[in-house]
Structure 1
Amino acid sequence: MKKFYYTLLALFFMLPACTKTDIVPFTPETDNQLLEYKIVNVQGSPIYGAINQQDSSITVYLPFYLQLITLEPEMKVSDGATVTPVSGTMIEDLLDLFHKGREIKYNVKGKDGKVKTYTLHVQVQQPDLILQEVSTDADNPNTYSLNMNLDFDSFSFGLDGAGFAADLDMIRVMLVDEQNKEYGPLNISTFNTTDLTRLDFTVIRYKEQSDPILAMLPAEGLYRIRVYSYAKVATTKNPIRINLLNKK
C-alpha cells in the first residue's frame, strides 16, 4: 500500500513538467502573388527580377553593355490569378523611363478578387557619368555668339568627360537656363564617334535650314549643359553664355 502511495505521489509531481503543445493553424500563401518576373528579349539566359513580397516591388538589374531600349517581361503568378498588364506586354522607351522616372505597376488579382500591386524598378549597372567644365571660371563663362541677320553663321564647342554611351542615339544633351528650363536637344557631331571621352556640338544658322534650337533660345542667356547618357544624367556646374545677335 505504501509503495502504491509513493508511486501516485511521484506521478503528481511529474505532471507540471509536461510541456503543453499549442496547435498553430496553417496560414496558406495568398493567391494574388507575383511568383516570377524575367526579361526575355536578350540573347542567352533571361534576366530575372528580384521580387520582394513585403514591399511589393520588382527590381531588375540590367547590364549596361546591353543598352536595351525596350523590355519584354514574362511573369508567373499564383494559381488561378491574373496579372495586368499581361505577361509579354512590352515596356517601351526605356530612355524616357530613366530620364522622367515614370512608374510601371502590375496588378495581380487572385481568385477571391483581391488585388496586390507591384512596382517595377529598373537599375542599370552603368559607370558614373562625369563631365568636365566647359567654362572653368563660373564668374567668367565662355561666350558663344551667332548673328541671326546673316544667312550663314555658327558656333561650336566641345564637352569632355567619361561614361558616355558608345551609341550616340543613347545620348541627349540639353541647355539648362537659370530657372532649370531645358532647351534642345543639341545636335551631337558625328565626325568623331570613336572618342568616348568627348562630345562636340555645332549650332548653325543657314536660312531655312537653321538648327531648331535657335528658335527656342532667347536672344541671350546663361546655360549649364545637361547630358543624359542611357540611364545616367549629369549637369555642368558652370554655365556658358550664348548670344543670338539681332534676334527679334
Structure 2
Amino acid sequence: MKNKLTQLLCLILTVATLTACKKTVGLDPLPANKITEFKVVVSDGNIFGAIDETDKTITLYLPYYYELDVIEPVIKLSTGAKLSETLAPVEVLDTKKTYTVIAANQSTSTYTLIIKLNQVAPLVITELSTGTTTSNMSIGGADIALQGNFNVSDIKKIKAYLVDANNKEYEFLASPSFGAPGITVSMIGSSKIYTYGRLMAPQTLEPGTYKIRVKVQALTAEMKYPVNVVYGRPGINYGPVTVKQGETFKVVSSTTVFNDFREFYIMVNGQKTLLPIVSYTRTEAVIRVPDSVPPGAYTPTASFGTWPLSTLNWAVTVTAK
C-alpha cells in the first residue's frame, strides 16, 4: 500500500512539472531600427560593409586599385524603417559620416561609417637630398618631379607640399611652363616607381629649409632630408610690347620670381640705353621708356643680381608720342 501511495505521489509531481514546463516567457521583439545590409557596387561586383551592432559601426574595406574618390552606398533596413537623411555619395576620406535609422515606432539607432582604404603601405618617397648634400629648389621653380610607390594614376588622389618649420604646408602647383601635373610609371629593377611631375614651387615661398610631404589618399610620408628653398635665376615671360615714348609697360614672371632686379636696357645705335625700373614685385615690374628713345623695335636685356644677363627673345617696339 505504501509503495502504491509513493508511486501516486510521483505521478502527480511529474504531471505538475510537465504542466509548469508548458508555460512560455515572453521575449523582447527584435529592434526594428537596424541597418541590415550595407554595400557598394564596384566594377566587378559588390563590397559589403561589416555591421557591428554592439559598437553601432559599419566598416567598409576598399581596395586601392578601385581608385574611388566617393562611394555610393546601397543600404537595406529593418522592415518599416527609414533613414533620417537622403542617401548620398560619401567621400572615401570622410571620417564623420553617420546614418540614423528611424523605426516605425519612432525609435532610432545611429551607425558610424568607417572606411578603410586597403592601400599599399608604407608610403615611401625618394629623397631629393642626402645626409651630406642638401638639394636646392627655386622659389617659383618649375618642372619639379617627386617619385615613390604612389600606386595611383589619378592625380586628384595625390598631393605634395613643402612644409616649413612651423609645420605649415605649401602645396606644389601646376607648372604653367610644362602643362598640367601628371603621373608616370616606370620599372626600376623589380620595383614599380611612380613619378609625380610637372610641379612648381609656389612663388610666395620665403627662402629657407623645408621638408617635403606627400599624401596619397589616407597615407602620408615625409622625406627624411629637407631641401633649401632659394631665389633662382629670375625668368620673364614672353611678352612683346608696343609703347609710346615716355610711357611705361609691364613685364611679368609666372615661374621663378624677380629678385635684385638691377637693370632693363636696350641698345640704341650701339649704345646701352637704360629703361628705368619704376617698381617691381616678385612677379611684376613696371618699366619706363625715356622720351629720348627713338621710335623702333628693340631687343631688351634684363640684369638680376649676379646671374648671367637675360637677353629676351621678343621686342620692345617704341612709337612716337
Q: Deviations over 1:98-129 (max 9, x none)?
A: xxx54111111112222211111111222112
Aligned residue for 1:4, secondary structure, equals helix
AA partner of residue 144 (structure 1): M
The reply on whether 1:136 has 2:130 as its aligned counterpart is yes
TM value normalised by structure 2:
0.59
1:109 and 2:105 matched = no
Q: Is structure 2 residue 117 aligned with structure 1 residue 118?
A: no
In structure 1, runs of 5+ residues without a counterpart are 147-152, 204-210
Query: What SS is found at the alignment partner of 2:159?
Result: strand
Residue identity in the other structure for 1:240: V
Q: SS where residue 58 of structure 1 aligns? A: strand
Q: Residues 21-65 of structure 1, C-alpha deviation per residue, up to 9 Å, x if partnerless?
A: 58443121111111111113x224222211111111111111211
> Which one has the largest radius of gyration?
2
- What is aligned with 1:239? 226
Letter in 2 for 1:32: N
Partner-residue secondary structure (3-state), 1:54: coil
> What is the CA distance between 1:133 and its match in structure 2?
2.3
What corresponds to 1:179 in structure 2? 166
2:196 is matched with 199
Is 1:71 the equivalent of 2:71?
yes
Structure 2 residue 46 is the aligned partner of structure 1 residue 46: yes
Specify which structure has the higher proportion of helix.
Answer: 1
Superposition deviation, residue 182 in structure 1: 0.8
Q: Matched residues in 1 for 2:137 and 2:2: separation?
A: 115
Q: State how far apart, in whole Å, the 2-side matches of 1:44 and 1:192 are.
A: 25
Whether 2:120 is the aligned partner of 1:127: answer yes
Aligned residue in 2 for 1:32: 33
Secondary structure at 2:32 match in 1: coil
> Corresponding residue for 2:273?
none
CA contact (8 A) 2:136 2:227 kept: yes
- Asked which structure has the greater RCO (Cα within 8 Å, sep 6+), the reply is 1
SS, match of residue 71 in structure 2: coil
Aligned partner letter, 2:26: P
- For the residue of structure 1 that corresponds to 2:203, the secondary structure is helix
Give the Cα–Cα distance (whole angstroms) in 2 for the partners of residues 2 and 47 of structure 1: 74
TM-score by length of 1: 0.74
Residue 232 (structure 1) shift: 2.2
Cα displacement string for residues 206-234 of structure 1 (whole angstroms, at most 9, x for unaligned residues): xxxxx6x212x2x2122211112233222
How do 1:126-165 and structure 2 match up within 5 A? Answer: 126-128=119-121, 129-137=123-131, 141-146=134-139, 154=141, 157-165=144-152
**Kept after mapping to 1: 8 A contact 2:181/2:198:** no
- Aligned-partner Cα distance in 1 for 2:116–2:223: 24
